[in-house]
Amino acid sequence: MTRDSSEPGDVATIDLDTVDLADSATFRDIDLTALWRRFRDERPVRLQPASGGRPAFWAVTRYADALAVYRDHERFTTEQGNMLATLLTGGDTASRKMLAVTDGAKHREMRQLMAKAFSPRVLGEVAERIKTRIHRLIAEAVERGELDYARDVAEYIPIGTICDLLDIPEADRADLLEWSKGVLSSDTATPNQADMVLARNEMLLYFTSLAAERRKKPGDDVISTLATSFLTHEEVVFNCYSLIIGGDESSRLSSIGAIHAFATHPDQWRALKEGRVTADSAVEEILRWTTPPMHFGRRALVDVTVGDTPIPAGAAVTVWNSSANHDERAFPHPERFDLARTPNKHITFGHGTHFCMGAFLGRAQLKAMVESVRESVDTIESRGEPQQIHSNFMYGYCRLPVAFA
């Protein structure tokens, strides 16, 4: 887990009752590996009390309990929010309009439609573009020598891929990247909530216009597939928004986290470089290690027991993948970055009926990056402290100074 190097003793003395999982500051300047271990051992299903007008919510931190919640689509719903930002404000305006916050028969219908849009033929073509784009970016990075991998390379990989899939004009992609970065996280310690709302609205307005154009004149792209389907115009817009957010942020942060892990674990980098581990195995460990979406949310529809803890109907429940992916009960020596780890059944893409539709693309992008770096780069060295994003939902870095040679 790419975490701060604070002394483990700091965590041992923390009163878990004082830890606020809704505060983005909680996930900075602390040994999160040790903190999550304490939660799993002492409070595996823990109630975060209401505070300052904010409602209470439950936090699930063990792997087995996480799977149980994800699999139980009868007693838990996403339709009242699937992350803290929406759960704590009473719901999501995209409920039953966007795949990620729709359940039941409508979810199955929407998922089947999205599966057509993500057909092997379409994804195969995009995967080839991924390889070409990443090979060029890594080659340019090697020529540069010292660089900020986050800004100079990672920013251009996932946004380019998802924009290819949606056939977004090149001139619009920079704006979409900035809006995407502003919706779920911030590069500053005091994120402006108004700016985050504005970024979301700008993106929705953009897709409102573009979807209308594609409905009138469809092409061979995902937006056209959605715009000419049974979905309403509003549903098309929300799902395009979701594809950009889901396709960009997680993949970008996992790519940055991979390079940071290579720089700080030179033995594993050499194992990859020398072919002692496969790119496929490396990808799965990178996904487990970085776990960019720290949690996903649900609402309990009825009284339910998770682990040994009763949770009342109507309660907000968060499943902390960043803890579950480091659970000693599921992953031997989870604190080790081990590119040869097998099995590696992480839940970075979620689990169950809401398993991420973009998992194939996410893996394809990360594999192309791993293979390109292995082929073109001999050494990876840190050139300063990475800068962490501010978020209670996503984890990762917005700056990563490194040297490629």
CB 6 within 8 Å of CB 29: yes
Distance of CA 212 to the CA centre of its chain: 29
- CATH fold label, 8-398: Cytochrome p450 (1.10.630)
- Label residue 121 by pLDDT band (50, 70, 90): confident
* Residues 242-300 pLDDT 10s: 999 888 899 999 999 999 999 999 999 999 999 999 999 999 999 999 999 999 999 99
Spell out the domain ranges in the chain. Answer: 8-398
Query: Containing H/E element for 185?
Result: none
Determine the Cα–Cα distance for residues 241 and 52; give it in Å rounded to an integer.
Answer: 31
Checking if the pLDDT of 188 tops 90, the result is: no
Cα atoms found within 13 Å of the Cα of residue 38, Cβ hemisphere only: 15
Q: Which residues of 72-106 are buried (b: 16+ CB within 10 A; e: fewer)?
A: ebebbbbbbbbbbbbbbeeebebbbbbbbbbbeee
Q: Which of 394, 373, 390, 400 is nearest to 139 (CA)?
A: 373
Question: Cβ of 375: how many Cβ atoms within 10 Å?
Answer: 11
Q: Is 52 exposed, middle or buried (0-12, 13-18, 19+ CB in 10 A)?
A: exposed
Beta bridge partners of 404: 380
155-184 pLDDT, tens digit per residue, is 999 999 999 999 999 999 999 989 988 887
> What is the token pair recorded at 3?
């975490």
Q: How does DSSP assign 337-398, residue by residue? A: --TT-SS----TT--GGG--TTHHHHHHHHHHHHHHHHHH-S-EEE-S--EE-B-SSB--EE
First to last CA, the chain: 25
pTM of the complete model: 0.94
